[in-house]
Amino acid sequence: LGSEGEIPYFRLTAYLDMGYLKYLYFLIVLMLYIVIVVANAFLILTICMKRSLHEPMYVFLCSLLVNQLYGSAGLFPFLLLQITSDTHTISRSMCFLQIYCLYTYATVEFCNLAVMSYDRYLAICCPLHYKARLTSNKVALFIALIWLYSFIKVLITLCLNLRLTLCGNVIDRLYCHNYYVTRLACSDTTVNNIYGLFGTFLTVFVPLFPILFSYTKILRVCVVGSKETRQKAVSTCSPHIASLINFSFGCCFEIFQSRFNMTGVPRIIRVFLSLYFLTIQPIFNPIIYGLRLSKIRQMCRNVLVCKK
């Protein structure tokens, strides 16, 4: 215990004794991180440099890519350090900082995908009023609200955790996790549990409403619309739907693994599933948006060959 009876550090027990294989894992994780940084940064630069991409759809995409760099920075350097370490410990302050970073990443990601679905709804269902209803000021306001809302919401969660008295320091994860830290408390966690349920509702169901609303309207237009309308909807919505499904898939794995007993599942699979939404999403989005959106593909080619 620390001088004030606090837990000074946490032990992460999900790391196995890898021996010399840890250097191989280090190289794999390092290469993955480099690919994530290069791919996301390249698309961000492409969108920022090309004025023809300064449209709401690509501005929201840029916000999504920035968030993925932010979330990856909260995980990958820490993983690289832990893989080569023999102690697998993290200080109390760094643990809570990592929780804050990873939880804001997840909240921003889902909210950003919700706003992107609304953007697609306006583009497909209200094309004549698209620019009037989604001005540059409104786009900036949406992005500011997404990030501000996420930071404040997770900050409240963190403040509720900081007041807890912890009676243990063992976390069976590869990184710090809010739910596992709360389980270590020997003081009253009623407020934490209530706000946790409320926060889950805000994180999941509030963004889910505009997503369901938007795609219900888009589907209705596609059913009664022309072939060109359906082709436009498929070409512009398919990357967003794929990204949304992939992220939701990873989050469901994370929730199930945290709330339910999964000891029957092989440990290596549990480790992979715990990292899925943090590692696959940042590399999945640049690929799916780069391949599916023709405007992005063309601009990337222009940047690569320095075409003027």
Tens of pLDDT, residue by residue over 112-135, are 999 999 999 998 888 888 888 889
**Rounded distance between C-alpha atoms, residue 215 and residue 106, angstroms:** 22
pLDDT tens for each residue of 195-231: 888 887 888 888 888 899 998 988 888 888 777 777 8
Which residue pairs, CB below 8 angstroms and at least 24 apart, start in 125-130?
A: 125/217, 125/218, 125/221
pTM attached to this predicted model: 0.89
- Which residues are bridge partners to 11 per DSSP? 89, 170
Dump strand ranges (E) for the chain: 9-12, 89-91, 170-171
User: What are the Cα distances from residue 255, in Å, to 56, 71, 92, 261?
Assistant: 32, 18, 23, 11
> What mean pLDDT comes out for the span 53-79?
92
pLDDT value at 292 more than 60:
yes
Domain 9-304: give its CATH architecture.
Answer: Up-down Bundle (1.20)
Residue matched to tokens 């706000």? 195
**Rounded distance between C-alpha atoms, residue 33 and residue 40, angstroms:** 11
Q: Say if residues 126 and 214 touch (Cβ distance below 8 Å).
A: no
Q: Say if residues 79 and 175 touch (Cβ distance below 8 Å).
A: yes
**Rounded distance between C-alpha atoms, residue 176 and residue 158, angstroms:** 12
